[in-house]
């Protein structure tokens, strides 16, 4: 299928085209303001579906609202008529189309033009009144508060919040793209004559800023966000896409001695703690037990021997583990346990504990296996 995408280099356009290609759509006509104007005539003749995403929302002059949101739509539809092309047309509009401002009026004019075109030609049309959008590849310090907050907070630049109680209606770019492709494939979500993105989020501006700030602080605390919350999960993915290119990595505190090292990687109150343990050949670690704390050990490199003993028994249980055959060993409560490096190289073990280490209540009691 030959697909025309106007506004191809915009936020929605870039994400849509990337996913179309992921799904095997190869004949994509990408049109933007820098494209040779003559190509639009060719594209309008050959296309079999139109994603009309082009629009103007931050013009230098107010007249550009109507020129970009109504005038270009008119030009596109006239070219389709000229070639008697009955390709369906999907247009992205805005929830601002219901408001009495120049931007909203221009979007509403474009909508009406498209609906009239459908009545005159019988062509299937889709109009999406999109809310505020967020996600990767959105331009910061332009017209997206989330893109601006993510970009600036990641760079220690101050942000401005006039009213933290203002509630925003938001849609995530991946949800939008999924819905647009649904429409392409004949499964648009309809609300009356308009189409809609089924998944939207209502969030206060102040809460958004606090969340993004917490993402920045999470590196210091070794925490991860509550990704059980759909909005938090999407916002965190968005934030990471705005990191400066020299800030993708961050250092961890390695506790090093002659036995090897122990390094905390992730700490969360809900899911416990993940650490990386390195043991030199012949070194034994552990020889302790816990009342409630439980752990999982995964040796990913080297060779080890994990030994257990019920604190009320003399019987010793042994598990030989190796990075050559990954297997997780549970460390039950009430069993004193140890792990010894029985190989000739450093042994690396990933350790998970069901709770973060608390020096005030370590729940760790020395007892040799």
Residues recognised as catalytic: 103
Report d(CA 362, CA 359) in Å as an integer. Answer: 5
Contacts of 112 (CB under 8 A, 6+ apart): none
Report d(CA 344, CA 302) in Å as an integer. Answer: 8
Name the residue among 7, 16, 85 with its Cα closest to residue 45. 85
Tokens 């907070």 sit on residue: 153
Tokens 């103007």 sit on residue: 56
Does residue 287 sit in helix, strand or coil? strand
Pinpoint the alpha helices (H) of the chain: 11-22, 37-46, 63-66, 72-82, 102-121, 145-153, 173-184, 205-221, 230-240
DSSP β-bridge partners for residue 310: 335
Contacts of 281 (CB under 8 A, 6+ apart): 341, 343, 344, 345, 346, 347
Burial class for 133, CB neighbours closer than 10 Å (0-12, 13-18, 19+) = buried
Give the number of other CB atoms < 10 A from CB of residue 334.
14
């Amino acid at each position: 299928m030959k697909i025309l995408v106007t506004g191809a280099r915009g936020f929605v356009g870039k994400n849509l085209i990337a996913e179309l290609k992921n799904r095997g759509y190869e004949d994509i006509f990408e049109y933007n303001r820098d494209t040779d104007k003559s190509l639009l005539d060719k594209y309008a003749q050959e296309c079999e579906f139109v994603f009309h995403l082009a629009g103007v929302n931050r013009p230098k002059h107010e007249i550009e609202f109507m020129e970009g949101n109504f005038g270009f739509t008119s030009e596109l539809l006239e070219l389709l008529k000229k070639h008697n092309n009955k390709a369906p047309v999907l247009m992205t509009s805005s929830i601002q189309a219901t408001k009495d401002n120049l931007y909203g009026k221009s979007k509403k004019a474009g909508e009406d033009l498209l609906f009239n075109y459908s009545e005159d030609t019988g062509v299937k049309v889709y109009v999406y009144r999109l809310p505020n959008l967020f996600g990767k590849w959105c331009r910061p310090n332009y017209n997206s508060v989330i893109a601006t907050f993510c970009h600036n907070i990641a760079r220690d630049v101050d942000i401005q919040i006039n009213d933290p109680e203002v509630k925003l209606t938001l849609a995530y770019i991946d949800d939008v793209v999924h819905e647009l492709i649904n429409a392409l494939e004949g499964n648009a979500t309809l609300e009356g004559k308009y189409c809609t993105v089924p998944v939207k989020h209502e969030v206060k501006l102040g809460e958004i800023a606090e969340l993004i700030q917490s993402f920045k602080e999470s590196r210091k605390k070794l925490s991860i966000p509550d990704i059980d919350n759909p909005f938090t999960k999407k916002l965190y993915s968005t934030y990471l896409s705005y990191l400066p290119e020299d800030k993708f990595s961050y250092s961890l505190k390695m506790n090093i001695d002659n036995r090897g090292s122990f390094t905390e990687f992730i700490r969360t109150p809900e899911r416990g703690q993940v650490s990386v343990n390195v043991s030199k050949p012949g070194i034994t670690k552990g020889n302790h037990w816990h009342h409630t704390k439980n752990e999982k050990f995964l040796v990913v490199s080297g060779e080890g021997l994990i030994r257990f003993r019920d604190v009320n028994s003399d019987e010793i249980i042994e598990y030989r583990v190796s990075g050559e055959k990954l297997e997780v060993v549970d460390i039950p409560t009430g069993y004193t346990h140890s792990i010894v490096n029985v190989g000739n190289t450093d042994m690396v073990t990933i350790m998970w504990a069901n709770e973060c280490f608390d020096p005030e209540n370590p729940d760790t009691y020395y007892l040799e296996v």
